[in-house]
Amino acid sequence: MEILAFGVQADEKPLIEKAFHGHHDVRCLDVFLTEDTAPIAAGYEAVSTSVNADLGGQVLRTLAAGGTKLIAQRSTGFNNIDLDTAARLGLTVARVSYYSPYSVAEFAWTLAMAVNRRIVRASNRTRDFDFRLDGLMGRDLRGRTVGVLGTGKIGEAFTRIAHGFGMNLLGWDVAENPACVELGMEYVDKKRLFAESDLISLHVPLLPATRRLIDATALKTMKDDVILVNSSRGGLVDTEALVRELRAGRFSGVGLDVYEAEAGLFFLDKSLEVVEDDTLARLVTFPNVVVTSHQAYYTVDAVGQIVATTVQNVLDYTAGRRSENVLVPAAVAGGRED
């Protein structure tokens, strides 16, 4: 069986080809799966997609009509997939339920430290041989309070680093993580977390209940000099409301690895085009904001695990096995049940 992989980054391609070698043939494309590119998958029983793929109803219908039966997404998040439509079409959909939480947690701290210590501004200055310190003053984190929204594997890894800094730990989640409690985390309601935290980091999935979790009200509840970091999903933050607060001179720093309207922008070279997204264009002009292009997961360790799991998902499908990675059970090759 030949697998068609959409949205493959240059660094990712050799890892995918090596992982599939000896199992199945794989064709890697750098284009992302959209309504326009979906017809390319005609004749491929299995496709692999990236986190920013469009797997809405129309795309799924196009894939199914072309003979696709398996969608193996190379990410943990799956808010981009219309699972109900996939089930009605008899598609099997699998994801990567686990990969290195340290990749994202460490990158979240990279963003936090970059905005706290003005690293981007300092680096730009020294390139011009401007070695002044004006405007570069940060803050010690020891003794200050960090608020962690979402204390699963990534949130726990982030909390362990915060504990190493000697910070006071506040957490919010639907269930307490005993490991975080052991580190000294106090679980509180969102309002208190927003009001008392000097640094807030988001590590919750994007669900209907969490969409725009950080809305205008939440932003106004936060300290004027708070640092806000989002390395989870862009839809957790009301970006227009965030821009309004930034224009008012609030927040010591904001680090964003994700953006709610990133599809069609992130992972692509738009440097020679006029970006029509006024909110994003305004956001990147603030000197206390660092925006990166959804790269928190992008380490050789994490991507290696993602690719290995994707290969295993394909092997499970062809063998008629079902694992925890399967989001939509469906009939599989040879009429076997997944």
Q: Which of 74, 118, 203, 233 is catalytic?
A: 233
- Tell me if residue 156 is catalytic: no
Please state, in angstroms and rounded to a whole number, the distance separating the CA atoms of residues 230 and 278.
20
CA 68 vs CA 21, 35, 41, 271, 321: distances in Å: 21, 15, 7, 34, 18
Report CA 126 to chain centroid distance, whole Å: 31
Which tokens is 167 given?
């910070």
Closest CA to 98 of 152, 52, 151: 152
- Tell me if residue 233 is catalytic: yes
Sign of the CA dihedral running 260, 266, 272, 273: negative
Q: Which of 74, 95, 203, 294 is catalytic?
A: 294
Q: How many CA atoms lie within 13 A of 9 on its CB side?
A: 19
Give residue for tokens 């292009």.
293
- Tell me if residue 203 is catalytic: no
The catalytic site residues sit at 233, 262, 294
